[in-house]
Amino acid sequence: MSRQITAEFPFVERFDEVTAGLPGAGLGWLDTIRRESLERFNQLALPSTRVEAWKYTNLKDLAKTPFEIAGLSTEPTSIDLNGLGAIRSGPVHRLVFANGSYSATLSDAGNLPEGLVVTNLADALTTHRNLVRPHLERISSLEGEALLALNAAFMMNGYVIVVDDGVQLDDPIELVFVSDTASPTSVHPRNLVVAGAGSRIVLSETHVGYGPSEYWSNPVTEVVVAPEAAVIHHKSQRESANAFHLANTRVTLAEKGSYQAFLISFGARLARCEIEVRLEGEGADCQLDGIYLARDRQHTDITTRIAHTKPGGSSRQVFKGVLDDHSRGVFQGKVSVSPDAQRTNGHQLNKTLLLSDDAEIDTKPELEIYADDVKCSHGAAAGRLDEMELFYLRSRGLDADEARQVLIRAFIAEVVESVEDEPFRDHLNEMIDSWLSQGELVAWLRWR
């Protein structure tokens, strides 16, 4: 069996035509990136399950779908942002991308402090070209990554956030990607966050889809954290039932830089969130926490790689999942510690609750440690609801369904409680509640 899956996506065939309408068309260096990336994608093709990193996630259904690329001048027709739920009151800083295009009407950067730029890639290629270029060039040249290459070839509008040294904003910057297409469409947003020394920002990113049509979202996000800067990144993946969501996030941390991410992933027919964090300065810190929920025949994959290359760094990952019906979960968590990275603290935990006999989780924690003065741990567990616990609750008068919901909530609680931001925590609980109840909410289970 080959290591490649060949796919013939219509939009790839029409490269010249399509890219003429994409951000930065006409910029020689960007054209070069696109062309070289296309070549690389054509050589690599999509990875088959023979490729170790894709062993548990099969892209053949994606490959079979005749994806086109999103039309670039479509303002969304029926998108109701209110349906997303106002996460909080207070100042709004929001960028909305609909079907691959930046929506000026739905976006509102709001009042930003001096030294904080919140814009879209197309505009940034004009206003911040010299800043953006090296970042685009670097990720695009990473070897062996077909989806990154595809995104680089067709990169579309995404968010660009640039924070000057020392600038801090506690208000979350909302980044919304909405898909509402009538036929199989792909979007390839390219996002960039550059946080200057000592700066601090909070990002609240949502990917949501409507409608029965298939679509494919292939976002690539680069986050560069300078010394002593802090980036907090919340992400909700709520794509529609027939969507493919394959996201790639690459983070680099300089000394004492910090990246705290929280991911909740429960939409899409096939979702894979790949996060790579490189701790490249002393004393850097990374926390990745998340929840994945799946039912029916959903497939959800969380693949993380944390690389400690300098001393004194710390990383922590806690991912918990709930799988029902015939769903399939995958967790691949790799922590590598270079010989120089003494006094590293790296901890990883993955726990999955299986609600049915046919649900399945493949969990693969990996520790690759080359330094000898480190504290690293990893844990992986999967299991059913505890019968004794269900019995206890029912013996107090709760019916079987209520008892299950209480216990599922209890299982997820640990991760939710680690979110410091209260409005986001409330929002998380609402999303979890609605997933649990599929409509009829058990009212007393609301947290507050």
Partner 1 sequence: MLEIRNLHARVGDRDVLKGIDLSIAPAEVHAIMGPNGSGKSTLAYVLAGRDGYEVTEGSIEYQGNDLHDLSIEERAREGIFLAFQYPVEIPGVTGTTFLRTAVNAQRKHRGEKEFDAMQFVKYLRQKQSELNVSDDMLRRAVNVGFSGGEKKRNEILQMALLEPKFAVLDETDSGLDIDALKTVADGVNALRDPSRSMLVITHYQRLLDYIVPDYIHVLADGRIVKSGGKELALELEKEGYGALTGVEAA
In whole angstroms, the minimum distance from the beta carbon of 172 to partner 1 comes to 25
User: Tokens at residue 294, please?
Assistant: 């799946």
Residues 6+ apart with CB under 8 A from 171: 90, 91, 93, 110, 202
Residues that bind partner 1 (CB under 8 A): 386-389, 391-400, 402, 406-407, 409-414, 417, 444
Considering the complex, what minimum distance in angstroms separates the CB of residue 272 from partner 1?
Answer: 28
| Among the listed residues 174, 33, 158, 28, the one whose alpha carbon sits nearest the alpha carbon of residue 100 | 158
Cα–Cα dist 70/53, whole Å: 28
Report the distance separating Cα 16 and Cα 148, nearest Å.
19
Give least dist CB 413 to partner 1, A. Answer: 3
Cβ nearer to partner 1, comparing 360 with 402: 402
Are 63 and 5 in contact by the 8 Å Cβ rule? The answer is: yes
Query: Do 347 and 316 contact (CB within 8 A), yes or no?
Result: yes
- Min dist. Cβ of residue 292 to partner 1 (A): 18
Q: Closest CB to partner 1 among 82 and 395? A: 395
Distances (CA, A) of 367 to 276, 277, 333, 345, 354: 14, 15, 8, 12, 25
**Pick 137 or 402: Cβ nearer partner 1:** 402
Query: How far is Cα 56 from Cα 34, in angstroms, rounded to an integer?
Result: 29
Query: By C-beta, is 181 or 405 nearer to partner 1?
Result: 405
Rounded Cα distance, 427 and 439, in Å:
16
Residue 234 near residue 203, CB atoms below 8 Å: yes
Of 357 and 399, CB closest to partner 1: 399
Residue burial 318-351, b: 16+ Cβ < 10 Å; e: rest: bbbbbbbebbbbbbbbbbbbbeebbebebbbbbb
Shortest approach of partner 1 to residue 393 CB, angstroms? 7
Q: Between 39 and 386, whose beta carbon lies closer to partner 1?
A: 386
In angstroms, the CA 318 to CA 382 distance is 14
159 versus 424: smaller Cβ distance to partner 1: 424
- The smaller minimum CB distance to partner 1, of residues 136 and 406, is found at 406
Distance CA 433, CA 405 (A): 9
* 3-state SS string for 336-388: EECCCCCCCEEEEEEEEEECCCCCEEEEEEEEEECCCCCEEEEEEEEECCCHH
Q: How far apart are CA 45 and CA 5, in angstroms?
A: 6
CA 142, 148, 152, 157 dihedral sign is negative
CB of 345 or CB of 437, closer to partner 1: 437
86/400 with CB nearer partner 1:
400
Please name which of 295, 208, 303 lies closest in space to residue 247, comparing C-alpha atoms: 303
Tell me the C-alpha distance between 352 and 381, whole Å.
Answer: 6
Give the residue with the Cβ less far from partner 1, 225 or 432.
Answer: 432
Closest approach, Cβ 318 to partner 1, in A, equals 14
The Cα–Cα gap between 25 and 89 comes to 38
Tell the smallest beta-carbon distance from residue 91 to partner 1 (Å): 32
3-state secondary structure of 93: coil
Euclidean distance between CA atoms 382 and 360, whole angstroms: 9
